[in-house]
Amino acid sequence: MGKLYAISGVTGMTGNELVRQILVDGSTDHIIGFDNFYASSIDTVADHIDDDRFEFFEYDINNKDQMHDFEVRVSDLKGSYEELIYINCAAVVHTEHFYHVYETFETNVEGMNSFLEQAIRVGAQKFINCSTSEVYSMNSWNENGGVKESDYITMAIAEHSQRTSYATGKLLTEFFMKDAVDTGKIKGCSIRFANVYSKDERYPKHIIPFIINSFRDNGKVVLLENSRKNKRTFLNNYDSCSAVLALAATDSALDGTVYNVATDEEISIIDLAKLCASKMGIDNPVIEFSGYRESDPERRLLSTDKIKTRTSWRPAVTLDRGLDECITNYLKR
Ligand SMILES: NC(=O)c1ccc[n+]([C@@H]2O[C@H](COP(=O)([O-])OP(=O)(O)OC[C@H]3O[C@@H](n4cnc5c(N)ncnc54)[C@H](O)[C@@H]3O)[C@@H](O)[C@H]2O)c1
């Protein structure tokens, strides 16, 4: 008997890679997942759509009737598997949507909490909540090996930027998660990912596809003024998903708390653009600056000691290799 996974947002960047990592050849696990295609399409799971171990529904996490039908189907399947694990990936995620307070609240906060309540009702053993490193807001780094999960945080507020609504909403989901575990209803944890990217990414405004597409289409890239100083780490979606599965497999780690999941390969955005250009065979790339984003931290550097101490997770994909895969894939299109 394998495990049964119930995954929201399953065709998104994290969800579709989870499908590939869970349904490796010979696995007896089963996935039941849904997505409303807000930011993805069925193409991302094309390689498993005819797999008997994968059931997909075009459902909206905010639609009560659809969520009821999903719950009934999970209940029907549950008895045939040794363990039921809920993973919440559905969210309004991308940068421009961060400013949409009503949408992010409905899907990211209310949707998460309803999905958690469903998991508890159907008797799931575990719930993994995808949160975000955006919660660190203005405290996104320090010089002592990166910001830790237990550090106090200083957030920008609505006076500074509506963008913070995304981060505060995600922070609230961490409280729901902790409460559910502390009151003995389920095991689980929240994960703060930092800047996940994928060679299959569909969203052209994310920084890596944006840089590569700009060089390809215009021979130059126009970055925000913030990029003159900003540095980031980038986490390949292979590694974000292997972290989800490592935590889900480690009962002792599912204590309701939060885990940073990131790499420590920090790079300035200018150097990222130069690196992409050199990999694309462009000497002396043209890099221009225009526009400014309020309340954008200059650095985002996370300590991952906690997850590394409690699980065997380590990031496996270097930025160098990940960028090679992105460039090969984006230029193929
Ligand atoms: N990508 C990153 O850099 C990053 C960083 C930190 C945290 N996260 C978190 O990781 C999780 C997964 O993000 P991702 O990178 O896979 O993003 P994604 O946008 O690729 O995936 C999210 C999926 O949720 C779906 N969705 C949105 N609204 C929905 C709704 N109402 N009902 C059903 N499905 C809905 C989208 O269509 C999409 O397929 C999210 O919780 C996100 O906040 C991502």
Question: Which 3-state string (H, E, C) describes 124-145?
Answer: CCEEEEEEEHHHHECCCCCCCC
Does any domain span residue 228?
no
* Total domains present in the chain: 1
Q: In the prediction, which pLDDT does 69 show?
A: 98
Identify whether 277 is part of a domain.
Answer: no
- Kindly give the distance from the C-alpha atom of residue 93 to the centroid of ligand 1, in angstroms, as a whole number: 5
Q: How far is the CA of 61 from the centre of ligand 1 (A)?
A: 12
Residue partners of 199: CB distance under 8 A and separation at least 6? 322, 325, 326, 328, 329, 330
- The partner residues of 192 in beta bridges, in order of sequence, read 131, 260
Would you say residue 247 lies in a domain?
Answer: yes
Could you tell me if residue 286 is inside a domain?
A: no
Closest CA to 315 of 237, 232, 239: 239
pLDDT (0 to 100) of residue 213 = 94
Mutate to test the pocket of ligand 1, among 56, 93, 116 (most ligand atoms within 8 A of CB): 93
Distance 191 CA to ligand 1 centre (A): 13
Q: State the Cα–Cα distance between residues 49 and 58, nearest whole angstrom.
A: 13
Indicate whether 220 belongs to any domain.
Answer: no
**Whether 251 contacts 187, CB under 8 Å:** yes
Ligand 1 lined by 16 (C-beta under 6 Å): no
Helix segments in 128-268, DSSP class H:
164-182, 207-218, 237-248
| 217, part of any domain | no
For Cα atoms 162, 164, 169, give the angle at the middle one, nearest 5 degrees.
Answer: 115
Q: The whole model's pTM is what?
A: 0.97
Element (H, E) at 253: none
CA of 9 to the centre of ligand 1 (A): 6
Instruction: Tell me the two tokens of residue 245.
Output: 């599965």
* Whole-angstrom distance, CA of residue 95 vs CA of residue 291: 14
Per-position pLDDT tens, the chain of length 333 = 899 999 999 999 999 999 999 999 999 999 999 999 999 999 999 999 999 999 999 999 999 999 999 999 999 999 999 999 999 999 998 877 788 899 899 999 999 999 999 999 999 999 999 999 999 999 999 999 999 999 999 999 999 988 899 999 999 999 999 999 999 999 999 999 999 999 988 778 899 999 999 999 999 999 999 999 999 999 999 999 999 999 999 999 999 999 999 999 999 999 999 999 999 999 999 999 999 999 999 999 999 999 999 999 999 999 999 999 999 998 886
Strand partners, 30: 4
Sign of CA dihedral 219, 223, 225, 228: negative
Token pair listed for 46: 């094309």
What is the per-residue pLDDT for 94?
A: 80
**Does the CB atom of residue 208 touch ligand 1 within 6 A?**
no
* Residue 302 backbone dihedrals phi, psi, to 5 degrees: -110, 140
The residue with tokens 């400014």 is 292
Residue 135 CB less than 6 A away from ligand 1: no
Domain span at 58? 3-198+234-265+296-316
Residue with tokens 């130059």: 220
| 165 within a domain of the structure (yes/no) | yes
CA-closest residue to ligand 1 atom 21: 12
Nearest CA to ligand 1 atom 32: 60
Residues found in the chain = 333
Q: Give the residue carrying structure tokens 């699980």.
A: 311
Q: How far is the CA of 19 from the centre of ligand 1 (A)?
A: 15
Ligand 1 atom 7, closest CA = 132
DSSP type of residue 108: I
Whether the CB-CB separation of 94 and 205 falls below 8 Å is answered with yes
- Name the closest-CA residue to atom 38, ligand 1: 12
18 lines ligand 1 (CB under 6 A): no
> What confidence score (pLDDT) does residue 104 get?
92
* Ligand 1 lined by 31 (C-beta under 6 Å): no
Q: Ligand 1, residues 13, 86, 128, 261: which to mutate, most atoms within 8 A of Cβ? A: 13
Domain CATH number, residue 10: 3.40.50.720
Angle at 96 between CA 152 and CA 206, to 5 degrees: 90
Q: Is 197 in the pocket of ligand 1 (CB under 6 A)?
A: no
249 assigned to some structural domain: yes
CB 42 within 8 A of CB 73: no
CA of 281 from ligand 1 middle (Å) equals: 33
Q: How many CB atoms lie within 10 A of CB 289?
A: 14
Q: Could you tell me the end-to-end alpha-carbon distance of the chain, in angstroms, rounded to an integer?
A: 40
Atom of ligand 1 nearest to the CA of 166: 43
